[in-house]
Amino acid sequence: MLNGGVLAGIARHAFPKAAMEVLDEVAVTVEGGLHGDFRGAVKPGGRGRRQVTLMERGDWQSALAELGAVAPWQERRVNLLVDGLDLPQVPGALLRIGADVVLRVTVECDPCSRMETVLPGLMAALTPDWRGGVCSRVVAGGILRLGDPITVELN
């Protein structure tokens, strides 16, 4: 175990460009990712590299500070906000959240041009050093709740 943090936020969106719904808890499955989130379902023949997305609270706050702005974290459009944890920038690293959920980091979660509609300059502010977060695939499902502990294991 490298370090630990806590789950500080949970959000999902039912379809592309839909508003983000902030939750206190959510079910997660290997087949469907976060219940009710359109990105979670693994398409036939797909790899599910973007089933669940995560970002560090500190990275979000740093990006906003650079812009002198304030915006709620869910505007980043990631599923999970983590606090007190450096997300691994290593594909294959495992994130254990709560009692049962295990996610495998797949790729960097590159900020898209939609960030510019949130705040001008936000896409660039989220680009360095994986600040936009990580994408992951569900290895083991369960229930996620705000405040769940998160630990990192590298393979």
The enclosing domain of 60 has a CATH number of: 2.40.33.20
- Residue-wise pLDDT for 38-55, tens only, equals 887 766 666 667 899 999
Q: Which of 114, 125, 120 is nearest to 16 (CA)?
A: 114
Mean pLDDT on 4-26: 93
Instruction: State the pTM of this model.
Output: 0.92
Which of the two residues, 127 and 112, has the higher pLDDT score? 127
pLDDT at 2 over 60: no
Q: What is the mean pLDDT of residues 1-18?
A: 85
Cβ count near 114 (within 10 Å): 13
Mean of per-residue pLDDT scores for the chain: 90
**pLDDT score for 41:** 72
Among the residue ranges 20-24, 60-64, 90-94, 151-155, the one predicted with the least confidence is 151-155
Q: Which pLDDT belongs to residue 139?
A: 95
Average pLDDT score over residue span 18-45:
87
Contact by Cβ (8 Å): 61, 125: no
The full DSSP string for 1-35 is ---EEEEEEEEE-SSTTPPPEEESEEEEETTTEET
The region that residue 17 occupies, defined by phi over 0 for left and psi between -120 and 50 for alpha, beta otherwise, is left
Residue 39's domain comprises 4-153
The pLDDT of residue 1 is above 50: no
Instruction: Output the six-digit token pair for 44.
Output: 């036939």
Q: Please tell me the total count of domains within the chain.
A: 1
